[in-house]
Structure 1
């Protein structure tokens, strides 16, 4: 009998960046478009107006998500590049001090002084900037910001999420069901979808599935409830 059976040792740190952007995009797409549609339906607007608003919101939201993610992550990438350039200058100008800094970091982690010194020397000879980037600045290969990846993932998943309430609106036949039934249909379908996307993201990232799904569904419900109140207050009747 094998004393050391195989087990799943896979980590998800290498996909945290795009997973975060994709999860945010999908949830935002569902919540934004469903809330927009719920508000429009509650206001009494005509079906063609509601559909046009939904499609416009989907396009604008996807573009906004892509631009926002790109700018945000690009800013992070620029800051990381600047930090690495600064650290390289420190290594070039003060190699002994930087070596002692590494040694001190390893000692604080629990290594004896002599061993910490040996590790610092070995890593400095191998890749001084890499050692300082990871152990001093917390920048690793897996955590480096990727602007285009984040922008694409956000836009794509926002669109995929936002299409769901639009399809529900079309299938619900608003003019036949009436505004109240349409609002409940939209809200119900969106809450279920939010729970599933939150649970799926948690599953992929090895987090608690039920808690993640309920958390996303709760905030989606709050958003749609507020939008419904605004729509009722406007009472446009178009």
Structure 2
């Protein structure tokens, strides 16, 4: 097992938003550290008192966050060892759905992905985008393109379309884009997700997509069309994911 959790560079640094319960903030910060690979499987977390001090919360608040993450499968409590980051698939709830990387290795193992923003562009909504987001045709939208890497190899392209009027907190510069977009929208943009609709299809990679994913043109890829709805049941985010199936399988578990 590794014990890298004492390295200050691995600790989340963003401030807790006032509108979110503190234990939820701690859960999200721990989740982000795990999903970004800063706390890899086998990492032993400090004891609860030290961990609470580092997060600036009461021990009871910290314990509630750890208990939830243990139930969800991200952490495990082990005698004589303490709290450890697992390598198991989390028990996915709607809260985790859009943070969790759902491509697994061919052996079924959970993959840790690193996302890199390729570009951010603004422009008038196409007819299809306007209909999908229920906005006026031609209204400005932001388009975010990202590439996810697993063990240094390209795994999936992500394309997001959203309204900057609805989410003015979304940066327009590549260098300022947060690693976990949905966490940013939840914490800074007030997003409350009520539902997610996905459509999956097997398609042949175009030359452009194949080049980004390191595949031959025409190679089979998994295409996931995603619509995210807020608490008013309004569509607020359109996403398209194009994933290589050469080394991965798509796994989605909801409870």
TM-score range, shorter chain: under 0.3
Instruction: Tell me the TM-score normalized by structure 1.
Output: 0.19
Which structure has more RCO (C-alpha within 8 Å, separation ≥ 6)?
1
Higher strand share: 2
Greater helix proportion: 1
Larger radius of gyration: 1
> Normalising to structure 2: TM-score of the pair?
0.18
